[in-house]
Structure 1
Amino acid sequence: MPRAVLVVLAAVTAVGVLTAADATDTRSASQKALKRFNPLIGKWRGVGQPRRGSATGAWSEKSEWTWEFDKKKNSVAVRYKSTGTKLLADGIFGYDPGTRRFTLQATFADKTRRRYTGRADATGTLILESTPDKKNQVYRLTIRQLNSKRTLVLHERRRTKSTFYTRVAGIGYTRSGTRLAAANTGPLCIVTEGRGTSKVSYKGKTYWVCCSGCRDAFLEDPEGILAEAKKREVQRKRKKAKTNGSS
């Protein structure tokens, strides 16, 4: 085979390896950032109110937060789904390491789709803002977890030329499910280190997962998941040893 062809093949192979490594680094960074959603993973009951303190136009809904892994795309996200809602019915929350912003691909009950981006403030409240729509409306979504059992989500909007937001509706959520899911202590999910709520087994050993998404990810690639968990543990030990050594 001509030397020039070998050089080209080597270059293509190197690019492929770098691309795969970059994708893995991006996924790891995204998963680390998305861990802030761990307290939300699970099932919730919600009551929506267009007007605060008023039952007019109010509704009840049921929602669930799960991790979602795409092995082919080497990507990770957190999925939100709700039934009975008048607002956000399906949302895919991601993280962009390049901009250090959270993203949301949202589908509403009326089939409207919006894309949001934003950050968490100093209190941990997640604030996301949409791109302007055809009617020059900008929407804001604020997610504030009060404690392990209660979460508030506020939907607002404003005109593009205005800085003042008006309320669309607020939804108060109460966690449903087992006591373990709402506890502050307990076994950790082997995939994301959220609170474990169900068990999976592999080679005679039992591990905990926090949702159906993590369960599926573990069952699809248990060796890979366990290798990542071991790597995290090694990193924690090194960090602890470094901290102890500098004190």
Structure 2
Amino acid sequence: MSQVNKLQYLSKTIFSLCILATVMLYLGCSKSETPTAVPAQTNTTAPEGNESSNVSQLEAPPKKSESQSHELPVITFGNDAPSTSSANGEMKSGEKQNETFEADKRADVVIAALKDLQILLGTWRGITQKNFDGSKALDETNWVWDFKTNPKQPALVMSSEASPYYRNASMTFIPESEQYQLQLTDDEGQTSTLIGVFTSEIKDEPGDDDKPQRSYKLEFTEKEPEDKTKRLVFNQQNNNRYLLEVYEQRGGNDRFFRVDTVSTQREGTSMALIDEGYGERTCIISGGLGTITVSYQGKSYYVCCTGCKAAFEEEPERWIARFEEQSKSMN
């Protein structure tokens, strides 16, 4: 066999082997198992006899019940406090603490604004200039703090059985409008609201005994109801005397006319101001002159009136903590 014929024979042999290898490779792949698609819906009910059903092992995650989804917290942003409310509107402990903190802050603002007016605290006897049923009316009132009616809105309150102008009065300060407010209730239970401004600023000047004497004029004008318009002016003369001036608006005129003046004199302990403070006799709640002793866990404190006494007895730890915090900030 010539050399050329040998090369041709070798080439044909190699080519035949390649064809054979390709055919065998193709036949081997065709015998492998081809994956089948999982149907969209499968019958998950097991057949009788506890035989396993032919279902895919890739199961969908279980659906959450409605009760589980409702327990998810509602997360809010823009507040330093953690999430405190749930989707069903229930108030969590953090939210309650935050609300209590805000209420205490508001109460502190009101107390600070009324502190300059607590010269009114105590028992007073008044006599009208105007005659009623042929004689002047005598009036006895007792001003105290009120922390119970609305803890967020402390007030100076008093009641009178003989005043011809009111049965109850509540004086407070509204932080939002930065105005004083006076609410009066008459003998028929009707309530009127008056807004107050200082027409003469608070002054503390030495009296005949060289002790500071407080004076001011605080004018309250009726805003509700609109069909009645009256004005009351607290004209504080000194620590132990004030005039309650009564004005009325007549004939749709903007002018007010004075119709009476109630001259009021303090009875009992004077709330005389002391430049250096009241020392250990400082009221733990209002900061005024303490006239009543209260105690908690063996320690005694002073309060200035029955209203502060009631507030202390209801929440002693709150007021003690507040007083100690204020004392630290002053030192």
User: Shared fold by TM > 0.5?
Assistant: yes
1:173-223 CA deviation, whole Å, 9 max, x = no partner? 111013xx3433452211101111121122222211111010111111111
Distance 2:182 2:162 in 1: 20
Matched position secondary structure for 1:7: coil
Structure 2 residue 217 is matched with structure 1 residue 217:
no
- Counterpart in 1 of 2:290? 196
User: What pairs up with 1:133-144 in 2 under 5 angstroms?
Assistant: 133=225, 136-144=227-235
Query: Hey, which of these two has a bigger chunk of strand by percent?
Result: 1
- Counterpart in 2 of 1:153? 244
In structure 2, relative to structure 1, the CA distance for the partners of 1:158 and 1:224 (3 Å cut) is same
For the aligned residues, what is the CA RMSD?
A: 2.8
2:220 to 116, 128, 132: 128
In structure 2, relative to structure 1, the CA distance for the partners of 1:20 and 1:39 (3 Å cut) is same
1:29 to 97, 105, 109: 109
- Quick check: 19-28 or 225-234, which moved more? 19-28
Equivalent residues, number: 232
Check the 8 A contact 1:85/1:109 in 2, yes or no: no
Matched position secondary structure for 1:191: coil
Check the 8 A contact 1:38/1:195 in 2, yes or no: no
Report the alpha carbon displacement of residue 140 of structure 1 after superposing the two structures with TM. Answer: 0.6
- Counterpart in 1 of 2:138? 60
Structure 2 residue 256 is matched with structure 1 residue 165:
yes
- Counterpart in 2 of 1:82? 160
- Quick check: 153-162 or 204-213, which moved more? 153-162
- Counterpart in 1 of 2:58? none
Check the 8 A contact 1:138/1:160 in 2, yes or no: no
In structure 2, relative to structure 1, the CA distance for the partners of 1:84 and 1:235 (3 Å cut) is same
In structure 2, relative to structure 1, the CA distance for the partners of 1:117 and 1:200 (3 Å cut) is same
In structure 2, relative to structure 1, the CA distance for the partners of 1:188 and 1:73 (3 Å cut) is closer
Check the 8 A contact 2:219/2:232 in 1, yes or no: yes
Distance 2:220 2:195 in 1: 5
Report the alpha carbon displacement of residue 99 of structure 1 after superposing the two structures with TM. Answer: 0.1
In structure 2, relative to structure 1, the CA distance for the partners of 1:160 and 1:137 (3 Å cut) is farther
- Counterpart in 1 of 2:34? none
Larger Rg: 2
- Counterpart in 1 of 2:194? 116
Report the alpha carbon displacement of residue 113 of structure 1 after superposing the two structures with TM. Answer: 2.3
- Counterpart in 2 of 1:228? 322
**Unmatched runs of 5 consecutive residues or more in structure 1:** 238-247
Letter in 2 for 1:42: G
Structure 2 residue 123 is matched with structure 1 residue 43:
yes
Distance 2:320 2:287 in 1: 12
- Quick check: 101-110 or 147-156, which moved more? 101-110
Paired-residue identity, %: 25
Distance 2:313 2:84 in 1: 35
Report the alpha carbon displacement of residue 168 of structure 1 after superposing the two structures with TM. Answer: 2.6
Report the alpha carbon displacement of residue 171 of structure 1 after superposing the two structures with TM. Answer: 0.7
In structure 2, relative to structure 1, the CA distance for the partners of 1:190 and 1:142 (3 Å cut) is same
Distance 2:311 2:225 in 1: 36
